[in-house]
């Protein structure tokens, strides 16, 4: 007898279950490639356990996405004012089945366009304005995937999978209904997206740090689709047309606020301690330097077939060889990765310098390059990622209020950002002495009249 469901063991969610047609997506060539893309690039050189891949993360995102979908669309979870803003048939049985499948498949496929080593080299080694999300979209709408979507019951529209997998920010040319916007929020939302929930839990588990843990069971149980209170008093002039558009978004019941705070804090700590760790960051830079010299034309191809042929394995084999051959393209960068001869921190973001000049890192990187030569200096500014700290909260008396107005903690969670200047180990001491003497002079902004 054919099994109606299949399951795989997972260290975070215990079991991830899927049916036969969903298994076809998992078995597809683009999805299987994710077995060979590290979730955290070269972070395993700092946290040896961090060898997990995009493959299991994507399965985890699918598992969490269905849990959230089931909770927020359950009978009784949707209030009348929210139902008024959704398509009339959004949550009837047939429609619910269709959209649940879309959400699961969008979750599964949301990372399919990742380059080797995930985000490490994306910005500099793709054409300007081109991101892994463009490639994800091309894969979801490829002939290979269209055949699988078409074989589902009912057949899925690939454009629906694209919208829910990428959201309005990454697919600005597509029109999103309120419903589609909410479903995309379930996956990539900046407050409660399950992509974020899974990577925090999973990365925390594999790196061996506990900062990323939070009570996701409680949080998911309290998630609701709510209408965000209008900021700024739309009712001020008593004109009903002055009211702002009621916008539904993902929020929580009052009892979930502490779990939401824990998620936002977990994110802050994971960024501060793991994702923005200086040695991890500098290995990304050496990898980028290697790829810029090793790849034909110094860039990744944007052709989907070529992308699907390349994984971390091919790149790792290449930099291991290049490290041994002084004449190979990218030799110096490859050698630094293999021999742990990475650049060292000369400067990092700190409040004292940033009070003087928010671009202090930039000023120091420019001055250091001029003084010591650009080959021995690397600048790595990492601005904070899209973080919405605000979300609606339904109080026990049914009022919906802003989380920022309710929580004493959320507004005080700082944005996680860094700004590093790295230098070669051979000039580190000289560069430190130089910076100690010149720091104030370098970072004090020049007046525009001085610049002419």
Q: Which residues contact 394 (CB under 8 A, 6 or more apart)?
A: 224, 226, 251, 252, 253, 254, 400
CB of 345 to another protein, least distance (A): 19
What part of residues 235-264 is at the interface with another protein (CB under 8 A)?
236-237, 241-247, 249
415 scored as a contact of another protein (CB under 8 A): yes
Instruction: Figure out which of the listed residues 268, 387, 432, 438 binds another protein, where binding follows CB under 8 A.
Output: 387
Q: Could you give the CA distance from residue 289 to residue 329 in angstroms, rounded to a whole number?
A: 10
Please state the length of the chain: 452
Tokens of 298: 């110094």
Q: Could you give the CA distance from residue 305 to residue 382 in angstroms, rounded to a whole number?
A: 31
127 scored as a contact of another protein (CB under 8 A): no
404 scored as a contact of another protein (CB under 8 A): yes
Decide the pairing of beta strands 392-394 and 248-253. parallel
Instruction: Figure out which of the listed residues 9, 340, 396, 446 binds another protein, where binding follows CB under 8 A.
Output: 446
CB of 404 to another protein, least distance (A): 5
87 scored as a contact of another protein (CB under 8 A): no
20 scored as a contact of another protein (CB under 8 A): no
- DSSP character at residue 314: H
Determine the interface stretch with another protein among 36-44, 228-236, 291-299, 313-321 (rule: CB under 8 A). Answer: 228-236
The answer to whether 62 and 16 are in contact (CB under 8 A) is yes
Residue closer to another protein by CB (options 321, 401) is 401
Question: Residue 368, class by beta-carbon neighbours within 10 Å (0-12 exposed, 13-18 middle, 19+ buried)?
Answer: buried
Instruction: Figure out which of the listed residues 60, 113, 189, 229 binds another protein, where binding follows CB under 8 A.
Output: 229
Determine the interface stretch with another protein among 86-94, 108-116, 165-173, 266-274 (rule: CB under 8 A). Answer: 165-173
Nearest to 323 by CA among 310, 340, 309, 311: 340
Nearest to 195 by CA among 226, 164, 168: 164
76 scored as a contact of another protein (CB under 8 A): no
Instruction: Figure out which of the listed residues 357, 366, 432, 438 binds another protein, where binding follows CB under 8 A.
Output: 357
The answer to whether 16 and 59 are in contact (CB under 8 A) is yes
Instruction: Figure out which of the listed residues 172, 238, 296, 297 binds another protein, where binding follows CB under 8 A.
Output: 172
Q: Which residues bind another protein (CB under 8 A)?
A: 168-169, 172, 181, 229-234, 236-237, 241-247, 249, 351, 354-355, 357-359, 362, 383-390, 401-405, 411, 414-415, 417, 445-449
């Amino acid at each position: 007898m054919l099994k109606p469901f299949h399951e795989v063991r997972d260290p975070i969610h215990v079991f991830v279950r899927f049916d036969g047609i969903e298994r076809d997506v998992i078995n597809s060539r683009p999805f299987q490639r994710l077995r060979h893309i590290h979730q955290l690039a070269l972070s395993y050189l700092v946290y040896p356990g961090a060898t997990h891949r995009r493959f299991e993360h994507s399965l985890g995102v699918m598992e969490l996405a269905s849990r959230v979908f089931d909770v927020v669309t359950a009978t009784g979870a949707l209030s009348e004012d929210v139902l008024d803003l959704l398509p009339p048939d959004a949550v009837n049985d047939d429609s619910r089945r269709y959209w649940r499948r879309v959400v699961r498949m969008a979750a599964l496929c949301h990372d399919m366009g990742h380059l080797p080593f995930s985000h490490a080299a994306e910005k500099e080694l793709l054409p300007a304005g081109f991101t892994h999300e463009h490639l994800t979209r091309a894969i979801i709408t490829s002939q290979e995937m269209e055949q699988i979507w078409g074989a589902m019951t009912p057949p899925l529209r690939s454009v629906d999978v694209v919208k829910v997998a990428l959201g309005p920010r990454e697919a600005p040319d597509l029109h999103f209904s309120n419903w589609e916007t909410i479903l995309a929020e379930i996956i990539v939302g900046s407050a409660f997206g399950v992509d974020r929930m899974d990577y925090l839990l999973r990365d925390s588990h594999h790196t061996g740090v506990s900062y990323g843990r939070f009570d996701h069971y409680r949080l998911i149980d309290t998630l609701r689709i709510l209408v965000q209170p209008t900021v700024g008093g739309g009712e001020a002039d008593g004109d009903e047309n002055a009211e702002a558009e009621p916008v539904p978004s993902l929020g929580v019941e009052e009892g979930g606020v502490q779990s939401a705070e824990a998620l936002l804090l977990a994110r802050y700590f994971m960024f501060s301690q793991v994702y923005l760790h200086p040695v991890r960051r500098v290995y990304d830079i050496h990898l980028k330097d290697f790829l810029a010299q090793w790849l034909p034309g110094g860039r990744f191809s944007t052709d989907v077939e070529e992308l699907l042929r390349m994984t971390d394995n091919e790149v790792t084999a290449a930099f291991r060889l290049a490290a041994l051959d002084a004449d190979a393209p990218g030799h110096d960068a490859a050698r630094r990765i293999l021999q742990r001869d990475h650049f060292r921190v000369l400067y990092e973001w700190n409040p004292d310098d940033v009070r003087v000049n928010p671009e202090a890192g930039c000023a120091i990187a420019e001055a250091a390059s001029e003084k010591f030569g650009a080959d021995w200096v690397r600048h790595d500014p990492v601005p904070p990622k899209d973080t919405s700290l605000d979300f609606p909260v339904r109080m026990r008396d049914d009022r919906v209020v802003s989380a920022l107005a309710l929580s004493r903690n959320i507004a005080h969670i700082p944005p996680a950002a860094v700004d590093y200047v790295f230098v070669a180990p051979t000039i580190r001491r000289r560069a430190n002495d130089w910076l100690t003497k010149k720091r104030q002079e370098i970072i004090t902004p020049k007046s525009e009249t001085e610049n002419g």
